[in-house]
Amino acid sequence: MVRGKFITFEGIDGAGKTTHLGWFRERLEEKIASGGRSVVMTREPGGTALGESLRELLLNQPMDLETEALLMFAARREHLALVIEPALARGDWVLSDRFSDATFAYQGGGRGLPRDKLEALERWVQGGFQPDLTVLFDVPTNVASERRGAVRAPDKFESESDSFFGRTRAEYLRRAAESPDRFVVIDATQSVVDIQKKLEKVVSSI
């Protein structure tokens, strides 16, 4: 059995990644359906019953920064063990709305947790495991903040300042520059149609 592929979507809140997830999933399904495989769509924090309970706490409850990072990785361990690893092993593909790049960007870049601590947790929880492909939706913080302003009541992260999101964005871009073969960076200020054209190329190339 050929292992499936693991694809993640990333970006600061308001970058617009969620708009593209459903459409991208359909393109992936079309690509792999003839081989009898399917696409498992999931998200972090979350993706399992325990992970969704942790998400509720993480997005709404003030907590110590290290607790926050540990809970993100605890939810991830559960997600890997119950959802991601079994799906890939049976040959399905997994499309996740965020993964560990988000912890480096938010808890590391945004909140300032030292990178070596996050790297230690990443090694513990994932070993050397990384997505096969990560699509990073990149936008300037002022564009993201306008987009966030248009939605419902903000959660704990969505209420953060532009400077927080500036540091978060910078860490995402640093991670992308560090692993250029894994990342595709999309200028998410473009129109939905132009972004879909780029994503179409991404689907053909994997």
51 burial type by CB count under 10 A (0-12 exposed, 13-18 middle, 19+ buried): buried
The response to whether 149 counts as a known ligand-binding position is no
Q: Which of 102, 113, 186, 188 binds ligand TMP (CB under 6 A)?
A: 102
Cα dihedral 31/32/38/40 (nearest 10): -60
Is there a binding annotation on residue 153?
no
Binding flag, residue 103, ligand TMP (CB under 6 A) = yes
Q: Within 10 A of 24 (CB to CB), how many other CB atoms are there? A: 23
Q: Which is nearer to ligand TMP, 37 or 167 (CB)?
A: 167
Point out which span in 33-41, 96-104, 114-122, 138-146 binds ligand TMP (CB under 6 A). Answer: 96-104
Q: Binders of ligand TMP among 39-58, rule CB under 6 A?
A: 43-45
SS3 63: coil
Q: Which two tokens stand for residue 43?
A: 């998200």
Stretch near ligand TMP under the rule CB under 6 A, chosen from 84-92, 103-111, 114-122, 170-178: 103-111
Q: Binding residue per annotation — 186? A: no
Helix (H, G, I), strand (E, B) or coil at 26: helix
Minimum gap (Å) between residue 8 Cβ and ligand TMP: 10
Judge if the upstream peptide bond of residue 45 is cis by omega within 30 degrees of 0: yes
Examine residue 106 and tell whether it contacts ligand TMP (CB under 6 A): yes
CB count within 10 Å of CB 6 equals 22
3-class secondary-structure state, position 4: coil
Write out the binding residues for ligand TMP, residues 57-76 only, by CB under 6 A. 59, 72
Query: Does 177 carry a binding-site annotation?
Result: no
- Asked if residue 138 binds ligand TMP (CB under 6 A), the reply is no
Cβ atoms of 117 and 111 within 8 Å: the answer is no
Q: Is 162 annotated as a binding residue?
A: no
User: Could you list the residues that contact ligand TMP (CB under 6 A)?
Assistant: 13, 43-45, 59, 72, 97-98, 102-103, 106-107, 157-158
